[in-house]
Amino acid sequence: MPDLHDLSPSAAYTLLQNTPRSVLIDIRSSMEYLFVGHPVGSVHIPWIDEPDWEENPHFAKDVQSLLQNRFKDGTPPQDAAVILICRSGKRSREAATALLAAGFQQVMHIDEGFEGERDDNHHRGTLGGWRFHGLPWEQC
């Protein structure tokens, strides 16, 4: 099984800009994706979602379908560069491990996530994450 690669938010952004067969998948819950915000150009496929907060049993299949629809050049979809992002990098690591086990070859996750870890005041977004680094994001 291939190794999981950790990426900083800036390294992930650079890879996405320079790698045509790449995709950024936001795996957070629907509420997080819609109301907290998400990276511009990301695709939402939740790993764990409300109302039951259970792992998505179709996650790998959903990712495969996304890749098949996006990259129709005949190259196996499992060969595309898949970058996952969650809030702080923990769920994306779990989801990435599941994709590697399902046969995906180039799976990475953003180690700081979208909002980063909590600071001493229990606030996110002050110590790291996609937004902290000033990378493009939007809210619905």
How far apart are the C-alpha atoms of 3 and 100, rounded to whole Å? 8
Domain boundaries, the chain: 5-138
Four-way CATH pick for 5-138: 2.40.30.10, 3.10.20.740, 3.90.79.10, 3.40.250.10: 3.40.250.10
pLDDT digits (tens, 9 = 90+) for 82-113: 999 999 989 999 999 999 999 999 999 999 99
Token pair listed for 4: 């999981």
- Tell me which of 33 and 1 has the higher pLDDT: 33
Q: Are 135 and 10 in contact (CB under 8 A)?
A: yes
Is 37 within 8 Å of 137 (Cβ atoms)? yes
Contact 37, 96 (CB under 8 A): no
Question: What is the 8-class DSSP label of residue 2?
Answer: P
Instruction: Name residue 65's amino acid.
Output: S
Higher pLDDT, 76 or 57: 57
Q: What is the pTM of this model?
A: 0.94
Question: How many CB atoms are closer than 10 A to CB 105?
Answer: 14
Query: pLDDT of 32-73, one tens digit each?
Result: 999 999 999 999 999 999 888 999 999 999 999 999 999 887
Answer whether 23's CB lies under 8 Å from 85's CB.
no
Q: Is the pLDDT of residue 1 over 70?
A: no
CB atoms inside a 10 Å sphere around CB 9: 24
